[in-house]
Amino acid sequence: MKIEKFKVLLYLKKTEPDKSGKAPIMGRITLNRTMAQFGTKLSCTPKLWNARESRLNGKSREAVETNAKIEKLLLAVNAAFEELQGRKRDFDAKAVKDLLQGSMETQMTLLRLFDRMVEERKSRIGIDVSPSSMSTYHYARLTLGDFVKKKYKTGDIAFGALNEQFIREYQAYTEGERGYSNQTTRHYLALLKKVCRIAYKEGLSEVWHFVHFKLPKQKESIPRTLSREDFVKLRDVEIPEKRRSVVITRDLFLFASFTNVALNKI
């Protein structure tokens, strides 16, 4: 196949800014007389965009990080182009785009990023994370994996395949089929939203999925009360003197009960 023209153009789609005011960076591949557009999964502040250079101006953190991702993206486009050339068959711009997006999708998926989030949090145990808090992350990951496998018959799912229905069905799955409590479901949905926020901020997803999805309201449970019989048992129980803190706690509780004063007011 004779290559007369091969070009990659990046441009800003200013008509569709996100909530933070950033605009998505789009790409266009031109190969001979064929053309194909694609999403880069990147976005930037419009005033920083240099259309001529297809880069961000300045040395800000946003400019440096986004420009590095642009360089990586262009290398991926050229790698896809060279791979197709090596196959010794005719191809067009769409073929380059399809191969590029296929490689981009395999870079990071929902469950893979969730696993990374779990590992990063695990590495902070003893610093700002307690070992007991990790159970929520682990069980949320297992539940989400089971849901994806059952619903989509696959081991993972790309961010581009997510939609509002996904999180609603996941909520129904945790509450209905798995029978988890309202509080547990809230935690799991919050972690799903968190991993999608990470994907968007790192340019792994074109869309900030579920940003407008509201977590279910936490149900208020009716506080349990002691019966008169249990209260008397608590009052009369003998506590060893060496457990002085337990004695004080018991006496404070009895005092609060008799005087109708909340313990946090004492």
Are 20 and 88 contained in the same domain?
A: yes
The Cα 206–Cα 92 span in angstroms is 24
**In DSSP terms, which residues pair with 43 in a beta bridge?**
24
Answer yes or no: is 215 within a domain: no
Q: Express each pLDDT in 185-237 by its tens digit.
A: 999 999 999 999 998 888 777 788 999 999 988 766 666 666 778 777 878 88
Of 82, 107, 132, the one marking the end of a domain is 107
Element (H, E) at 94: helix 93-107
Answer yes or no: is 59 within a domain: yes
Are 119 and 186 contained in the same domain?
A: yes
The Cα 246–Cα 124 span in angstroms is 33
Answer yes or no: is 219 within a domain: no
Answer yes or no: is 206 within a domain: no
Answer yes or no: is 213 within a domain: no
Domain that includes residue 248, residue range? 228-265
Are 123 and 97 contained in the same domain?
A: no
Answer yes or no: is 257 within a domain: yes
Per-residue pLDDT at 233? 80
Q: Express each pLDDT in 114-173 by its tens digit.
A: 999 999 998 888 888 888 788 899 999 999 999 999 887 878 887 877 888 999 999 999
Answer yes or no: is 237 within a domain: yes
Q: Give the number of domains in the chain.
A: 3
CB 32 within 8 A of CB 11: no
Q: Tell me the residue type at 194.
A: K
Q: What percent of the chain has pLDDT over 90?
A: 40
Element (H, E) at 190: helix 182-201
Q: What is the mean pLDDT of residues 80-97?
A: 87
User: Residue 41, class by beta-carbon neighbours within 10 Å (0-12 exposed, 13-18 middle, 19+ buried)?
Assistant: buried
Are 19 and 78 contained in the same domain?
A: yes
Q: Is pLDDT of 102 > 90?
A: no
Q: Buried (b) or exposed (e) across 121-133, using 16+ Cβ within 10 A?
A: eeeeeeeeeeeee
Q: What is the mean pLDDT of residues 72-77?
A: 88
Q: Is pLDDT of 104 > 60?
A: no
Are 174 and 190 contained in the same domain?
A: yes
**Rg of the chain, C-alpha, whole Å:** 28
Are 118 and 77 contained in the same domain?
A: no
Are 102 and 125 contained in the same domain?
A: no
Of 42, 76, 107, the one marking the end of a domain is 107
The Cα 70–Cα 56 span in angstroms is 10
Answer yes or no: is 223 within a domain: no
Of 201, 216, 247, the one marking the end of a domain is 201
Q: Express each pLDDT in 160-175 by its tens digit.
A: 778 889 999 999 999 9
Q: Of 77, 25, 28, which Cα lies nearest the Cα of 55?
A: 25
Q: Express each pLDDT in 21-49 by its tens digit.
A: 899 999 999 999 999 998 888 999 999 99
The Cα 75–Cα 151 span in angstroms is 35
Q: Is pLDDT of 183 > 60?
A: yes
Q: What is the mean pLDDT of residues 180-188?
A: 92
